[in-house]
Amino acid sequence: MSCSISCFRYDRERDHLYGITWYKDHEVFYKYVLRDKNPHVYDVNGVKVDKSRSDDQTVTLQDANLHASGMYKCEVNGEGPSFNTVSAEARMEVIALPQERPTITGEEKVYASGDVLALNCTSGKSHPAAKLRWFVNGQQVKPDSELVFEQHGLYLTISSLLLELEPGHLASDKINVRCEATVRTTHEVHDPFVDIRDTEVFVQGLATLTTPSLCLLIAAVLQRFLLPV
C-alpha cells in the first residue's frame, strides 16, 4: 500500500524557498533542496520513500504498514538573508481492516423462556482492535465479558453473551441475534475512519414452552419418593 503526504502549497519563484524537510516522530526522513532538485532520503523505521514519485511538494510512501503510523512534520525553509521557517504537523494512522465478518458460535437449535442464550462473537484480526456490540431482536444488550488478543500487531476480540430469555424475546417464535464489529481511528479527528461489519443468526424460540425451575424439579422428585408404596 502506498500513500502520499503533502506540505504547504507555494509558488517556487515568488516565495524564494530554499528547501523542505520531512520528519516522522522528530526524525528526518526526507529533504529536498530546490536548487539541487535531488531529494535526500534517510532511513527511519516504518518509512520507505518512493523517490520517483516524490518532489518538493509531495512525498509518496510505499509499502506503508502499521509501523508507518506516527507524527509527521513538514518544515519549509526560505532563502537568505531572512531564512524564514514555517512548519506544520499531523498524525497519520495506518489501519488494518479485518478480512472477514465477525462470527457467532454456540447457538442451540431451539430456545424456551427461561433458557440462557450463551454465545460468543469473534472478530476478524484488525488494527486497532474491533469493538463488538450485541443486538437481540434489534435491541442492544450488554455482553457478559470481552477479551482482546494481540499477535504481530493485529488484534482479535472475543465477546461473550449470557442472556436469560424472557417471553418477550420469543414473541415471534424466533430470535434474531446480531454481532457488530467496529474498527475506527483511535485518535480524535474531524473525519474519523470507521469500518462496520456485522453478522447475524436466527434461532427458533418457543414462547409457549417453559423450562421448569429447579424448585419444581426437586418437588417432583420428593413427591415421587414420598408416595406410599
Q: What is the rounded distance in angstroms from the CA atom of residue 85 to the CA atom of residue 81?
A: 12
Please write the tens of the pLDDT for every residue from 78-120.
Answer: 887 777 888 999 999 999 999 999 999 999 989 999 999 999 9
- C-alpha grid cell, residue 196: 462496520
The domain made up of 103-206 has a fold known as Immunoglobulin-like (2.60.40)
Q: Tell me if 3-92 shares its fold with 103-206.
A: yes
Domain limits of the chain? 3-92, 103-206
- Supply the pLDDT for residue 1: 81
Q: Specify the amino acid at residue 59.
A: V
Of the candidate CATH numbers 2.60.40.10, 3.10.129.10, 1.10.260.40, 1.20.1270.360, the domain formed by 3-92 belongs to: 2.60.40.10
Can you give the pTM of this predicted structure? 0.75
Q: What is the rounded distance in angstroms from the CA atom of residue 196 to the CA atom of residue 213?
A: 40
- C-alpha grid cell, residue 122: 469473534
Query: Phi/psi zone of residue 138: left (φ > 0), alpha (ψ -120 to 50 degrees), beta?
Result: left
Please write the tens of the pLDDT for every residue from 155-214.
Answer: 999 999 999 999 989 888 889 999 999 999 887 766 778 899 999 999 887 765 544 434
